[in-house]
Amino acid sequence: MDAFVGLISGTSADGVDAALVSFEPDLRVLAFTTHAYPTALAERLRALGQDGRIGGLDEFGALDADIAESFAESACWAVAEAARRGVTVQAIGSHGQTVRHRPHATRPFTLQMGDPNVIAERTGHTTVADFRRRDIAAGGQGAPLLPALHAGLFTDPAERRAVLNLGGIANLTLLLPGEAVIGFDTGPANGLLDAWCLRHTGKPYDAEGRWAASGAVQPALLRAWASDPWFALPAPKSTGRDQFHLEWADRECGGLENYAPEDVQASLLALSAQTICGALTQACRRVDRLLVCGGGVHNTQLMQALAKALPETRVESTSAHGLNPDAVEAAGFAWLARETLAGRPGNLPSVTGARGPRVLGCIYPA
């Protein structure tokens, strides 16, 4: 059996997801894990996402190499899993770590770090990386890139569906019978929640949303954050941690120190739910089923808030459809590597706004 490896660290910057994926005959995740970043590296990445400061080319190069080592470690785990199962790895698809995403800049760009040469050298397998910049060069957002996969996995001609990825940032894919696939970022999902939780509790995330449930939503906070002009932008659109971070949350409301920490957490959760559901209902009148993936699927309070705001929609994890919700993003970059090597486009212009379909990524031979 042949398989591909997919690697990604999302906007939460907490570690590297690795998926070993078979496509024979259909997509199947054979193995999945998350390797946490070393503490110092995770802290550096969170700080970089928030303040944007880096100490020069030497620090940039060292950071790129450190990220690459973490990705290579995860890739080696997946390759060892493949050998244990008697599976042949065809290639590795590495998303890398996004440190800047500026599709609306005068000179649009996106930047993912984690040198793919290191991954190819350490594993001895062809590695495909740098998936986003070709779409940006073609006038697109460079994100989201997985709606094409979502369409292949979850489309039902008899049902109006959407796929929601709850990573650090939330993104939606609309799968409406007879219509072009649409996808876009909606704004914060877990990123602000995790950062605030870490600052005030020392824990990397709010398990099941219990801390948020202990607080009360503050309407003034919610109004201030939701008034950010980005939320009113039409699709296609995308964003990242460099836009929605704690300094942004503090600045927009005039100072978070005026509120109880648990109330801020409750309000941040409400912001995620409100902007996700608002974007969904604005893009289409209704969906019958919302399939949720990403780490936020484990936040019980967030999932309940989504279901409450969408009473006519069945809100459920992608696990109900046979796919581990934690593994969807990593599996997607295994799929993109496969498409690149086959010479097939990986983007959807109806999603990213690019001038046309493009083969994505650069190939680093074994």
Q: What is the pLDDT of residues 129-143, one digit of tens each?
A: 999 999 999 999 999
Q: What is the DSSP letter of 146?
A: -
Q: How far apart are CA 52 and CA 240, in angstroms?
A: 12
Looking at the fold, whether 180 and 288 belong to one and the same domain comes out as: yes
Burial of residue 286, with CB atoms counted within 10 A of its CB: 0-12 exposed, 13-18 middle, 19 or more buried: exposed
Q: What is the pTM of this model?
A: 0.95
Reported as a pLDDT band with limits 50, 70 and 90, residue 14 is confident
Whether residue 337 is predicted with pLDDT greater than 90 in this model: the reply is yes
Looking at the fold, whether 276 and 155 belong to one and the same domain comes out as: yes
Looking at the fold, whether 27 and 164 belong to one and the same domain comes out as: no
Looking at the fold, whether 43 and 151 belong to one and the same domain comes out as: no
Looking at the fold, whether 122 and 255 belong to one and the same domain comes out as: no
**Domain span including residue 317:** 147-321
Give residues with Cβ within 8 angstroms of 141, minimum separation 6.
103, 135, 184, 236, 237, 238, 352, 353
Reported as a pLDDT band with limits 50, 70 and 90, residue 53 is confident
pLDDT of residue 335: 98
CA distances from 95 to 52, 161, 332 (A): 20, 26, 10
Mean pLDDT of the chain: 96
Reported as a pLDDT band with limits 50, 70 and 90, residue 37 is very high
pLDDT of residue 181: 97
Region class of 121: left (phi > 0), else alpha (psi between -120 and 50), else beta: alpha
Q: Positive or negative, the Cα torsion across 126, 130, 131, 137?
A: negative
Q: How far apart are CA 196 and CA 214, in angstroms?
A: 14
CA distances from 358 to 91, 143, 195, 235 (A): 20, 13, 35, 19
pLDDT of residue 52: 73
Percent share of the chain, pLDDT over 70: 100
What mean pLDDT is predicted for residues 44-72? 89
Q: Positive or negative, the Cα torsion across 343, 344, 346, 352?
A: positive
Looking at the fold, whether 177 and 72 belong to one and the same domain comes out as: no
Reported as a pLDDT band with limits 50, 70 and 90, residue 54 is confident
What mean pLDDT is predicted for residues 175-203? 96
Q: How far apart are CA 308 and CA 253, in angstroms?
A: 26
In this predicted model, what pLDDT tens digit does every residue of 290-307 receive, in sequence order?
A: 999 999 999 999 999 999
CATH at 317? 3.30.420.40
Looking at the fold, whether 125 and 168 belong to one and the same domain comes out as: no
Looking at the fold, whether 124 and 270 belong to one and the same domain comes out as: no
Q: How far apart are CA 81 and CA 58, in angstroms?
A: 35
What total of structural domains would you count in the chain? 2
Q: What are phi and psi of 91, to 5 degrees?
A: -170, 170
Looking at the fold, whether 114 and 226 belong to one and the same domain comes out as: no
What mean pLDDT is predicted for residues 203-229? 97
Whether residue 50 is predicted with pLDDT greater than 80 in this model: the reply is no
In 3D, which of 276, 275, 252 has the Cα closest to residue 264?
Answer: 252
Looking at the fold, whether 133 and 152 belong to one and the same domain comes out as: no
Looking at the fold, whether 216 and 308 belong to one and the same domain comes out as: yes
pLDDT of residue 40: 94
Give residues with Cβ within 8 angstroms of 91, minimum separation 6.
4, 5, 125, 126, 127, 128, 337, 338, 341
Checking DSSP bridges between strand 161-166 and strand 169-175, what pairing results, if any? antiparallel
Looking at the fold, whether 248 and 214 belong to one and the same domain comes out as: yes
**Chain centre distance of CA 142:** 12
Please give the angle made by the CA atoms of 315, 317 and 321, to the nearest 5 degrees. Answer: 110
Reported as a pLDDT band with limits 50, 70 and 90, residue 94 is very high
